[in-house]
Structure 1
Amino acid sequence: MPAPRDIIPEVSDGIYLKIETVGKLLDDEKFDRALVEMRQLEKRSLNKYERAAVWQMIGYVNGVLGNTRLAIEHFEKALAAQALPQFAHQGVLYSLASLYSGEGEFQRAIDLLQLWFQYEDEPAADAHMLMGSWYVALSQYDDALPFIRKAIMLSELPIESWYALEVNIHFSQGNYAEAVPILKSMLSYWPRRPRYWNMLADAYLQLDNEKATLDVMMTAYNNSQVTDTQRIMALVGLNMAHDTPFTAGSILENEMIAGVLPDDLVNLKTLLQIWLSAREYGHAIATIEKIFAIENDGSWLLRAAKIQVKTGEWRRAGESAERALDAGVDNPVSALLLQGMALTELGEFAEALVIFRKVAAMGDEEEQQVAAAWIRYAEEEINYQQQFAVASGK
């Protein structure tokens, strides 16, 4: 297509008045009447410029009325006439390119806009983005990126969809390193977008930088931007992998309390393992109580008793062991041993002897040996206390 030229339009007075009348109709949005007037004008004897101008106007009105193919036809005629001044020629090129893109003819749209770029002194950001988006429509991402970047650079204000388009291209091509700085910029403008936090975390994960992934997800979580349950569980897992079990447990427990994650057995058992890993035994006992409330299985209380023995909470250990026996356990002897040990440590030797003698009567050989050792110890303590009482005159 020939280049636009600096043409000085020549318009007769009669034609000028007619065009002026049509212009007023267009200003008043009386498009149907304007189209009738221009059709009549088209039939008259016109010079080259006048005819090109009429075709341009007919193309414009048909575009407004949604008659795309007619608009394209008349814009093409206007360009082919090679009679429009440069500013008008450029306007028709731009409009025609947009119409072709609307019809899905992106390559034709690109070809026309490339001509427009050649003769446009300072193409605006929107024009660059149009070209970039049309290349994207043809899956020509490498050609699209320079135009999209230029559009972003020229734009006075950040436009979210433009940034998102570039990021999506990088993700589709696996260029995660290039996506990272763009996503960081996006989050500086739009920090309340969970999707961008997720994409940044995913980009770091694809780059085998789990620590950065964890940092991003924790920042997002602390700003209430991790709302997807799978993402929350992934964050719990990442904290466990990076040896921060207390944080993992706090997240899981808080989300269960908030109702974001179900307070079910699967999550409770996961939470218990996390608290045990973190050596947060108080939290672990509280979690066991919740599990027991659902399953009513005394083995959970037996597990609580073992933890309480480990932490020296003898009174509570004895109570947990007794509750385990009441609820029923597969091996009651284990619960009796724990109960007896707790009573012994509390100095309640007579009560402990009763328990250990039950173990001696019920347990297997190994359990009987353990019970016998505790019985000897309890009896020695009782004898010592009696001797001390006699010696002190009590």
Structure 2
Amino acid sequence: MTDRLSYLVKQVLKDAATAEELQELSDLLEADGDGTISRQIELLLRQDIGMDMPYDHRRWDNIASSILAADRPAPAPLVPIHGNGRWRLGVAACIALLLMSGGVWYMLQHKAAKPVANTAQRPTRQEDILPGADRATLTLADGTEISLDNAAHNTLAQQGNTTISKPGKGQLAYQSGSVLSHEIPQYNILRTPKGGQFQVQLPDGSKVWLNASSSLRYPVAFTGNSRTVELNGEAYFEIAPNATQPFMVKAAQTNVQVLGTQFNVMAYEDEASIKTTLLTGAVKVNDKRLYPGQGASIDRQNGTLSMQEHVNTEAVIAWKNGLLQLEGEDIHAVMRLITRWYDVSVTYNAPVNAHFRGIIPRNVPLSQVLKMLEMTGEVHFTVTDKRIIVSP
């Protein structure tokens, strides 16, 4: 079965599958009651077929068009598999969801509807909006601003006994010499714009990945009894252990106390809540302890803290790994992600009720992201300059 399944999937991805082969794979998916076939397909895509192959919009278009053009009954919505929270492909036409896009297989929550002709005016390739990249600005303690986009890979500045350098693309690093405990702290601010991301290694060796439209304020050398930074936006942290000098992240109404761990903090001002997710180690969020796999959410409006016992941590940090991973988010949440990464604005010309589940690479042009979302048949887009109009 595994050999046959591998053959069928490869035929689909090569746009060489016959109608009988498409139907055979569809039938397998339709009968996949326990998710075994779906998991085998995912394994094939990740290990055997080449997940790191370069993105090719022509190839994607050909695969999508040939599958979606097949004359099959409209599929029913996907349904959850009880116990593990995964979703299975419910009907034969969901073969259309086996799409390679930058080497990541894509799964939509709703029906794989045929494209509606002329419902969206997509930009041409020449006008297409490109995804974000490694972009940031560093503000030194004296107010000097350094653009890191095209800065050379060498020493950028010296502040006291701390050397600031750019060791590689999208990376900033601090190397501290001897520090006197009574020294007055000097603070730097690393800012990413919409459509930007950057990584910084702090003076203590801790690493921080900064998502788009975010900022991190931190001292050029950690002194005193704690290591404290301030975050706006979203960041993923890998903290160097130091039990005598605990690490703390301040983000709006949230204080995250750390010893040595990996965690994500999302604190965008346009989000209703501030979310902290723990991957390894231990943290306290406003004195509430988290364990690996748990999350804490603080409502911006009333300050209420709620706990999430089982969080899909892969989805939370997907942005760090170059992905947009959707876990049932509504259209408004999805469009907020898109506006930050593609630096666009969004308007709605009518109420839209659509939710999405799937994985999209962050390195594809905007037109392809919108095309994937439109495959649900529940939402359509018109793009003018850098403005997206959303319609039902």
Q: Which has the higher helix share?
A: 1
TM range (shorter): under 0.3
Relative contact order higher in (CA < 8 Å, ≥ 6 apart): 2
TM-score when scaled to structure 2? Answer: 0.19
Q: Which has the higher strand share?
A: 2
**Which protein shows a greater Rg?**
1
TM-score when scaled to structure 1? Answer: 0.19
